[in-house]
Structure 1
Amino acid sequence: MSFRVVRSSKFRHVYGQALKREQCYDNIRVSKSSWDSTFCAVNPKFLAIIVESAGGGAFIVLPLNKVGRIPADYPLVGGHKGPVLDIAWCPHNDNVIASGSEDCVVKVWEIPDHGLIKTMTEPVVSLVYHQRRVGLVLWHPTALNVLLTAGSDNQVVIWNVGTGDALVEIDCHPDIVYSACFNWDGSKLLTTCKDKKIRIINPRTGEVETEAIAHEGSKATRAIFLRHGLVFTTGFSKMSERQYSLRTPDCLDTPIVMVELDTSNGVMFPLYDPDANLVYLCGKGDSVIRYFEITAEPPFVHYINTFQTPDPQRGIGMMPKRGCDVTSCEIARFYRLNNSGLCQVITMTVPRKSELFQEDLYPDTIGDTPASTADEWMAGQDAEPILISLKDGYRPPESKSSSFSSRSRSNVLDKMPPKGGKASSGGGQSSPVSGAIHA
C-alpha cells in the first residue's frame, strides 16, 4: 500500500474572498498606458491609482474608507506634464508618495491626512536627472528619504529626497531596467534588464557583484529578494511560456527551481509577504492570483492555491501586513484594477475558530519607523527593518500640519508624528512637509 503524505503548512487553507462591489472603488479611469506597471499602490491610510488625464499625467489618491462610486471630478495629483508610469508610497511615512513619469521627472508628494479637497499640482520636491521617461520608483526599505529611480535612459539613480541630491548614479545596464528590489536590510540591489540578465549590485557604489541570464524569453522579467537572501524571478522561455524560478545569489546562473506555468503573454508581478514567506503571482491580463509558499525543503516553491476572478486584471496593489485585519486572520489584502473602472478588494484569510490573536500567523512585522538615515546608510551602515507587533492592531499615526520652512529642507520628509500622536492646534513641533503642499 502507498500513502500520500500531505505537507504540513499553516497556509495550506488560505481562503480568498472578493468584497462586494459597494465595498470596493468604482468609476476609476485607470491609465491605458502600455507600460508594465502595477498602476496601483496602497498603504494603511491611502489607495493610489494611476489614471487617465488630459493634458499631462495624474493619479488619484483615496482614503481607504472612501469606497463606492468615485465622482468623475474627484481631485487628482496632477503635476506631471506626461503620463505617470509608476507610483510608490514611502514605507516610513504613509502620507508621502513618489511618482515617475514620461516627462522624465520624479516628484514626491505629501498627501493631507483626510485626502485631497482639490487637485494637487505642487510637489514637495522634484527630482530631475533622467533624460528619458522614468518607469520605476522604489523606496529603500530601512533608510529614511532614500529613493531609487530608473528610466528609459538605462540609468538607475539613488536619491536623498530630503536634500534633493543624487547620491549614487548606476550606469551598468545596456538597456531598459524592468524591475528593481532591495534585499532585507537594503545592502544589496537586484535588477532585471531588457538584456535578459538579472544583476546583484552594491547600491552604494554601483558595482555589479554578480549577473546571469534569468529567462531566455524576450519579454519583461521581474525579480525580488526574499527575506533570507534567495532570489525569486518571473519571466518567459524561448517559446514564450511563462516561468518562475528560485535562485541563490552565489549561483545566479543555476536555478534551484525553474517551473513553466502557462502560455499567457501577460507579465507576471511577484508580490511578496516576508512574514509568511508567501509569493503571490499576479499577471497583467490574468483573471487569477496564484500563491506559493517558499520553504527550505524540496521542491522549495510549494504551490498552495489559485484565486479566480471573473475579469482580466489591469493592475494590482498589495497592502503592507501592518494594514491587514488581524481579528479576522487576514494575511494579505489586494486592490485589483480591471478595465471597467472597478478597483476590487480581495482578502486572503486563514480560517481559525479561535478569536484570540494568532501569533503563528502574525510574527512581528515591518513597521513604519526607519532604521537609519540617508547619511548613515551612505556611510556604510546596514540596519534591518524595525519590527512591530500586531497583537493590539496597528493604528496609522496622523501627521501634523505646519508651514514649510526652507531652512528645514534637509529634513523635508522627516517623520511627522510621534507614534499614535494627533495634530496639535498650538505651536509645538513643526513638520516641514505637510505645509509644502497648499491644499
Structure 2
Amino acid sequence: MPDARRTGRAAVNALRALLERHNHIVQEVDGQNDFGEDLHVTFTENGMVTGDVVKIQVKGGRSWRRADGFGVPVGDHGENWADGNIPVLCVVHDPDADGLYWANATKQLRSARRNRKVLKTINVVHQVDDDSMADFVAQVRAYLHSYRGIHGPLGEMAGVEFGPTDVVQHHVNIHGEDMIFWQRRGEGFATLLHSDLDWYPEHFGPEHFFPDGRPGLLRGMAVVLDTILEKPEAQWLAACLDAARWADRRADEPPLRTNLDARDNYVARRVEHHLRMEPDSLTRSIKKLHGEAETDHELAAMATELESDAEVCAEARSKPWREMSEKARRLVTFYVVKELKVSVPALPIDEQFRIEWRCPRPAEEYSFDARVGRPSFRKSPHREFVSPYELRPGDRIYWLSRYGNERGRTVRAVWDSEDTPGAVCVQFDRLWLGDTFWPEERFVRKASTG
C-alpha cells in the first residue's frame, strides 16, 4: 500500500475508533472516489440515535501541518462543503503525536464568503480526544441545529452564530432593512442587529427601550439606546421583549458564561460616550494615571508597554474614537477606565458591567424623578440653544420653576452619568448633587459676548 494511502487509512481508523468508543455511529464512504467526504457520522445521546448527521473529510500525515496548526485544501469541494444539505468537518491525524484535530469547513467557507473572500485552505486547530469528545459533539450538534433551522440563514446574514436555544426574531421594515432580535436564555440583556447599521450589535434591555419617546425627542418617537425606531419597529421590538421574558421563565439552561463580545462592545460604547460628554477627560485621565504610576510599578509597566508606539500615542490623543485604530482605542480605554467590574450574566447589562472611571465624578446624582422644574426654552438675541454635554463650568443657563417662573443658574460641573449610563449630569450652583439629562435635551445658554 502506498505511503499516502497508509497514512490516510490510519487517520480514518483513528477517528473511527475514537467516535465508536463514545457510541457514535460511523459509516465510511467509498474511498475510490474523491467526493470530499470520508465518513458520515450520526451522533447518539444516552444510547439513543439522534437525527444529527455530519460529513467528515479525513486527512493524515505530516504534509498537512502548518505553522499555526494544520491546513486542508478546499480544492474543488468548496461549493459542496459550503452549501450541501449536511455540514462538513475536516479532521487531520497527526501521526507523530497520534492526535486528531478538527475544523468546521462549512462554517469557515460561509464566513469567508460573507466577507467576500475566497477560502482556499481550511484552518484546522482544535484537538479532539476522549477528554474533549463531549465538547466536540456539543459544538457540532449546536451548529447542525442552527444550520437546519432559521437560526442558520439569519446568522449567516448577520455574521453571528446563534445557539440552539437562543430567542431569535426577524423583522423587515418598510425600507426593506433587516432587523434581528437576539437573546441568550438566562442573559440579562438582548441584542439588536440591524442591516442598516452594518449589523453592529446593540446590546440593550427594557430599561433602554422607550416606545413612547424620551425627553429631548419628539413626543411618541420610539428609541432604543441611540437608535430611533419607527412605530412598526417599536411594536415588533416590544413583542420580542415579551417573548424573550416568557421563554426565559421556561428555560432550564446551565449557567451562562460572560458574553465577552457584549462586554467589549459595551465598554467601547461607554468610552466613546464618556469622551463625548467630557472632552477633557482623556487629558485629565492621562495626568492622573501617570501620577498613580509613580508608586504603582505594575501600572507603570503596563503604561510603558502600551505607550511604546509613538504613532499610537499620537493617534489616541488626536483622533475621534471612531477614527482610531484598535491599538489606539485600547490605549485610550487604559487611560480612562480604572477598573471594569463584571457580575453574573443574568443581570441587566449596566449592572453586569460596571466601569470605574480613572477620574471619578465630582458629585452624586439626582435621578430624573427628582428634577424640579425644567430648562427654559425662551429665546432672545443674547441666548443660544445647546445640548447638556455642550455646557461648561461657568455657563449661565435659564430654568423654569414648577410654576413657570424663569431664573438663571450657573453650571458648576458636567459629567457622564454613572447611575444612568448614556445620560449627562449637570451640577448647578448651590446644589450638592447633579441633575440628570438625556443628551437630546436642550438648554438656552447666555451667549458669549466675546
TM-score, scaled to structure 2: 0.24
Higher RCO (C-alpha 8 Å, min separation 6): 1
Larger Rg: 2
Greater fraction of residues in strand: 1
Flag the structure with higher helix content.
Answer: 2
Q: TM-score, normalised by structure 1?
A: 0.25
